[in-house]
Every structure is written in C-alpha cells, then in structure tokens.
Chains A and B, each alone.
Chain A
Amino acid sequence: MVRRWSAARLVTAAVLGAWATLFWFVWLSGRTTLYLSGRTAWLVPLGAALATIAAVGRLLTARTNLDEQLDARTAWRAAILVLPVLVVLVLPPASLGAYAAGRRSSFGAAGLVTPDDFEHGPLTMIHIAAAETSIEDLGRLRRRAGESVTLEGFVTRDEGMPADELLLTRFVISCCVADATTATVRVVGVPPGVYADGAWITVTGRVYPLGDRIIVTASSTSPIAVPADPYLGAV
C-alpha cells in the first residue's frame, strides 16, 4: 500500500516540536529560574528531551496508508496547544512583583533553617521569615540582634507606612511560581521618596527583632537590576 504524508500527523509533529523548542529555549537561555525552583529545574530538560523524541517520532511516522484529513477541530486543538508556546517566546522575561506580593500569603519557614545555620551562617530573608513564624527561631535571631545584614529584594509598602520605611520583599517558591509565597522584612531609615513600589534594591543595615516583628535599620541602600534568579527556594 502507498503511504502518503498525513497533514494531521505533520501538524501534531509541529505542535510537539513547538513545545520542544520552548523547553530548549527556556533551558538554554537560563530562563528556567523564572518559572521553576532549583528543586524542580530538572523538569525543563526532561520536557525538552521527551517533547523532542515525541516530535521526531511523529515526523518519522507521518506517512500513512490511512485516509487522514486535517479537519478544523484538530487544527483548532493544535492551535490551542501552540498558543502558550508563542506567548512565552514573544513576551520579554518577567518575574512577579509588588502587585502579586499583595495577593500572596507569607512564607511559613518554621523549621526550615537549622539551629546551627541560625547561629553561625549569614542571615537571609529565609532566616527572617523563619523567625516570624517560629518562637524558637525568633529566640535564635534575638541572640544575633544588631548584626549587620545585606539583603536584596523589591520594594512594597503597607498603607500608611512612614516615608522613610518600606517592606523589602522576596518571593519564595517550592516547585513553580504558582506556589510563590512572600518573605518580607520591614526596613527603616531609607531615603524618602526614592524607591517606587516594585523597584529592586539592596539594603545593608542591622537586624533587630521587635516583639514578634523583625526590622532592619538601613545604613545604606542602592538600586539593583532584577536578578536572573529572582525567587528564593523553599528548601
């Protein structure tokens, strides 16, 4: 029997190829960190490999002796699958910002930082998040009150905050950006009116637990570019 090229199978191969292209692009351009945590970054090369195998396989088997037509329904279904690929490829890279921070719950970091790391390692936003959700961790941070810290994050503000205060915020993700929660620390002593909401800055100052809140008194602040890895990992 004579085999002919099937338009439906070629379209399927194109859809699979499009997704393979997306995964290869995300992986090779270093954009994995804009979507997934370090724990799940392996999914991108896995997706690239599986989609490539599937696309090549479909292409190699696209000639058939069956009478297959590319109907409108199949074409629209293929279009639905290709559309997200095109959207991701066309849009510039971006990360969640101040708007999303107001719509996310706070990261519950209790127990994620070991006592040894709390007592000896450099203090980070994860340490501060842990201290805000665990009495034991707050006690450990109190023993380091007044230590110098350097933190990076983007600016958010609560309503009614004084002009020389802001919330330094980072998103923490466990699997992908969809599960992002926020880690924040209140920074006092910043120059008023300099930093808009959403601006990325680095803050150097001293950390002080006050009651059940943590504040950082800033000695210096400066704007920074959005990091290539804008999300912190939960583990």
Chain B
Amino acid sequence: MVATIARTRRRRWPIVAVLLGVPIGLYLLEPVAGPWLRTTLIVAGSLLVEAVPFVLLGAFVSAAIEVFVPASAFARIATLPRPLQLPAAAAAGIAFPVCECGSVPVARRLARRGLSPSAAVTFMLAAPVVNPVVIASTLVAYRARDTQWLMVGGRFLLGFVVAMAVGWVVGSRRSEDLLRARADEEDEPDDLGAGRARRFVGHLSGDVLFMGRYLVVGATVAAVVQTLVPPPVLDGVASLPVLGIVVMMVLAFVMSLCSESDAFVAASFVGFSPGAQLAFLVSGPMLDTKLAALYVGTFGRRFLRTAIVTVGTLTLALCLWVDVLW
C-alpha cells in the first residue's frame, strides 16, 4: 500500500513538471526566440479557441444521441439499402452547420448506436461541406467573380459525391471494426442505477477528453507547418494543371481552416485555376491536420489511409474535369 502511494506520487512529478515548465519556458523564451514562435502560438491558440466550442457542441449532441434517442430509430435506418443510406446521410449533413471537428464525435456515436458505419462516415464528411453556412460563406467570398456559381455549386455537388464515395469504400465494415475501442466507453454503463443525466454527463465528458487531445495535437502541428511553409513557395506551381490541384489540397490539409471561412482564403489564391481552388474547398473540410489526428484517434490509421486515398484521387479527378470544362 505504501509502495503504491509512493509510486503514484513519483508518477505525478513529470506531469506537474510539464504543466509548470512548458508555460513558464514559453513565457521566458517567446520574447527572445524569434517571431516564428510567437506566430506559431498565436495561430495554434486561434485554431483551438475556434474549434473547441464545436467539439463541445458535437459532444453534447453525441451524448444526447446516446442517451435520448432510442436504438430503434437507428435500426429502422439501418434496414434501408446502402444506396439509399448514403445519399440520405449526406443530405442530413445539410442540417448540421458546425465545423468539421464537431461532426466527428457525432458520427462516432451514430455508428455505435447502430447506423451503418458507411452512412456515419458519409454524414461526417458531408456535413462540413454541404451545410448552408458554408455554402453562404462561399457565395460571399466569390462575390463578383465569374467563378462564383461554379465554386458554390461545385463545392456542394463534389462534397456530396466525395463523401458518399468514402462511405462506399468503407463498405460493409462493422462499427466494431471501424471504431477504435475506448476503455472509458466500456465502463460507461456506469454506476448502478444511474439516471439519464448522469449517463449524459459521462458520455459528454468522455467524448470531450477523447477528441480534445487529438485536436490539441493537430492544431499545434497545423500552426507549426503554417508558420514554417510560406505561400510564396507555391507561386511557381499555380499554373500547372495537376500539380496546382495537388498543391491546393496539400495546402488545405496543412492550413486546417474551418470550412465556414476557408472560401475567403481559397479566393485569395487568384493564380490557381478554378479546379485547384475547388479542390481546396472540397478536400479541406474532409482532410486536414486536425482531422487527421481525430480520425486516427477515432477510427484508426487504416481509415485515415482510406480517406486520404479516396478523397485525394476523386477530388483530383473531378477538379481536373472542372478545369477542362471551364
């Protein structure tokens, strides 16, 4: 017993050292380290201040789905043939106008409650692209440009198609195979006789802790890469058809912008083709640094590879086609 207490106390010291040392170290280092550190901290801070409320919102919705929505509701949807489930799931994204970070916990919960994993994934990828707030911001960002309706319509349609394609590729995998197991969720049956409120809080806090750490890591990586890779590097490839599209998708991945504002950034890349800008708008909300961390934590590396290959190749092909036609 005494040895256990001593071991526990020894384990705490590294954590305390990190919690005290990192902020104090940054406070002392920041004025002398150079502007890159300040820039990185500002960008990381803004990404987290913007994204964490959406993760909280998604966790609230996810917990409500777990506790208040009867399993029979999902059983009915799950009996529909997959060709109908996927468009329905993508269309449901229209009613979920949150940043992409908020849709991941909801999709996870839907898959656990009985919705087919392919439909849950389709919903997760479509919601950040096809919702009315994103479409409206795209409309405003491209106002007075002759590509306005191409961007708005293209984003909506390609978002739909790419999301369903990933759902299709996920195929008939079961939720136990798609979702990474969480030790805390196995304990969630919770206290004996726990009421709905207690269960709601348990799932809510579990989801926030689960998603939050991946978001912190992803936002930090995104901030570092944004700071270290200057956009002028990209000017040389803007006019190249295939490479321009690939570069814009990589940029969207690195910048990790919220889908409700990324259209203004895409519109600023005037040297890139409409297809390349569209690739930024379609792939960014489905694949970025923050989301990659969330996907690995929620679904595992295999799903991340599936998403990268499917979203990447399909977006490239469709956007090349757009450039040819335009």
B-chain residues with CB within 8 Å of residue A178 when the two chains form the complex = 43, 46-47, 50, 222-223, 226, 255-257
The answer to the question of B75 belonging to the interface, with a C-beta cut-off of 8 Å to chain A, is no
On chain B, the number of residues with a Cβ less than 8 Å from chain A's Cβ atoms is: 79
The answer to the question of B302 belonging to the interface, with a C-beta cut-off of 8 Å to chain A, is no
| CB pair B26 A90 closer than 8 Å | yes
**Closest chain A residue, CB of each to CB of B220:** A84
From B22, B34, B202, B265, residue with most partner A Cβ within 10 Å: B265
| CB pair B265 A105 closer than 8 Å | yes
The minimal Cβ–Cβ distance linking A179 to chain B, given in whole angstroms, is 5
**Closest chain B residue, CB of each to CB of A173:** B261
The answer to the question of A122 belonging to the interface, with a C-beta cut-off of 8 Å to chain B, is no
| CB pair B39 A99 closer than 8 Å | yes
Please, what's the 1-or-0 string for B31-64, where 1 marks a CB less than 8 Å from any CB in chain A? 0001110110111111111101110110110000
The answer to the question of B309 belonging to the interface, with a C-beta cut-off of 8 Å to chain A, is no
Q: How far, in angstroms, from A45 to B54 measured CA to CA in the complex?
A: 12
Q: How far, in angstroms, from A58 to B201 measured CA to CA in the complex?
A: 6
> Which residues 208-227 of B have a CB within 8 angstroms of A?
208-209, 212-213, 216-217, 222-223, 226-227
B-chain residues with CB within 8 Å of residue A226 when the two chains form the complex = none
Please, what's the 1-or-0 string for B10-30, where 1 marks a CB less than 8 Å from any CB in chain A? 011001001100111011001
**Closest chain B residue, CB of each to CB of A8:** B184
The answer to the question of A217 belonging to the interface, with a C-beta cut-off of 8 Å to chain B, is no
**Closest chain A residue, CB of each to CB of B210:** A77
B-chain residues with CB within 8 Å of residue A88 when the two chains form the complex = 45, 49
**Closest chain A residue, CB of each to CB of B187:** A66
Please, what's the 1-or-0 string for A224-235, where 1 marks a CB less than 8 Å from any CB in chain B? 000000000011
A-chain residues with CB within 8 Å of residue B53 when the two chains form the complex = 23, 43-44, 46-47, 50
B-chain residues with CB within 8 Å of residue A39 when the two chains form the complex = 261
The answer to the question of A163 belonging to the interface, with a C-beta cut-off of 8 Å to chain B, is no
| CB pair B46 A72 closer than 8 Å | no
Contact partner, B49, options A3, A26, A82, Cβ 8 Å: A26
| CB pair B45 A35 closer than 8 Å | yes
The answer to the question of B270 belonging to the interface, with a C-beta cut-off of 8 Å to chain A, is yes
Q: How far, in angstroms, from A133 to B191 measured CA to CA in the complex?
A: 62
Q: A76-B15, A178-B257, A181-B265 are in contact. Are A36 and B50 (CB under 8 A)?
A: yes
The answer to the question of B143 belonging to the interface, with a C-beta cut-off of 8 Å to chain A, is yes
Q: How far, in angstroms, from A66 to B140 measured CA to CA in the complex?
A: 53
A-chain residues with CB within 8 Å of residue B205 when the two chains form the complex = 9, 12-13, 16, 54, 57-58
The answer to the question of A102 belonging to the interface, with a C-beta cut-off of 8 Å to chain B, is yes
The minimal Cβ–Cβ distance linking A85 to chain B, given in whole angstroms, is 9
Q: How far, in angstroms, from A235 to B143 measured CA to CA in the complex?
A: 11
Q: How far, in angstroms, from A98 to B204 measured CA to CA in the complex?
A: 41
The answer to the question of A81 belonging to the interface, with a C-beta cut-off of 8 Å to chain B, is yes
Sampled A-B contacts (20; CB under 8 Å): A12-B205, A34-B46, A35-B46, A35-B50, A39-B261, A44-B49, A60-B201, A66-B187, A72-B11, A81-B213, A83-B216, A97-B38, A100-B42, A111-B143, A111-B144, A176-B47, A176-B258, A178-B257, A179-B261, A179-B265
What 10 A-B pairs are tightest by C-beta distance, nearest first?
A: A111-B144, A175-B261, A99-B35, A111-B143, A47-B53, A177-B46, A174-B261, A57-B201, A176-B50, A108-B268
